[in-house]
């Protein structure tokens, strides 16, 4: 009788030899390398995006600090930009004041109308409770 372990082992070795000869291993290796490269590209792209965001934050901080330092006497081409910044800041403050005023008026109105609504609700609940607990007349 034939030794099945040797037969299976020989068949497996023969099959692996054919796979190596056919280039499947090379294709697998190329696919693996490509997947690793795409993974690294994705990591680097995320790192570049983070660095761009950080650079924008730094530029913004530089601009803010320069504006604070030179806002009283802007020079050259900064003068129109400083004026634009002043107008925008004033507009923001006006809008924030309007928002706060509206919030204050809405909260005062809702508090005063809420008292009336709650007492009316309490009356309705009390009436419903009385009706539910009353004994029916026979």
Q: How many angstroms separate the CA atoms of 66 and 71, rounded?
A: 8
User: Six-digit token pair at 105?
Assistant: 């008026």
Per-residue pLDDT of the chain (138 residues), as tens digits, is 556 677 677 777 776 666 666 666 677 778 899 899 999 999 999 999 999 999 999 999 999 999 999 988 888 889 999 999 999 999 999 999 999 999 888 877 666 655 556 667 777 777 777 777 766 554
For residue 45, tell me if it sits in a domain: yes
Q: How many angstroms separate the CA atoms of 52 and 56, rounded?
A: 6
Q: Please tell me the predicted confidence (pLDDT) of residue 104.
A: 87
Show which of 70, 96, 129 is a domain's final residue: 70
Domain count, the chain: 2
DSSP state of 93: H
For residue 130, tell me if it sits in a domain: yes
For residue 81, tell me if it sits in a domain: yes
Q: How many CA atoms lie within 13 A of 133 on its CB side?
A: 6
Residues 110 and 130 occupy one common structural domain = yes
User: 88 is in which domain, residue-wise?
Assistant: 77-138
For residue 138, tell me if it sits in a domain: yes
Residues 86 and 136 occupy one common structural domain = yes
Q: How many angstroms separate the CA atoms of 70 and 78, rounded?
A: 9
Q: Please tell me the predicted confidence (pLDDT) of residue 138.
A: 43
Q: How many angstroms separate the CA atoms of 87 and 94, rounded?
A: 11
Residues 83 and 133 occupy one common structural domain = yes
Element (H, E) at 132: helix 78-133
């Amino acid at each position: 009788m034939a030794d099945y372990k040797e037969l299976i082992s020989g068949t497996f070795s023969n099959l692996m030899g054919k796979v190596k000869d056919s280039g499947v291993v090379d294709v697998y290796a190329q696919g693996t390398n490509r997947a690793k490269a795409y993974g690294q590209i994705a990591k680097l792209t995320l790192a570049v995006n983070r660095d761009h965001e950080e650079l924008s934050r730094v530029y913004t901080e530089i601009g803010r600090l320069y504006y604070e330092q030179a806002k009283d006497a802007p020079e050259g081409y900064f003068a129109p930009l400083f004026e634009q910044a002043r107008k925008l800041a004033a507009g923001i403050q006006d809008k924030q004041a309007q928002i706060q005023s509206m919030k204050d008026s809405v909260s005062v109105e809702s508090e005063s109308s809420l008292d009336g609504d709650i007492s009316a609700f309490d009356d309705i609940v009390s009436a419903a409770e009385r009706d539910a607990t009353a004994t029916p007349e026979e």
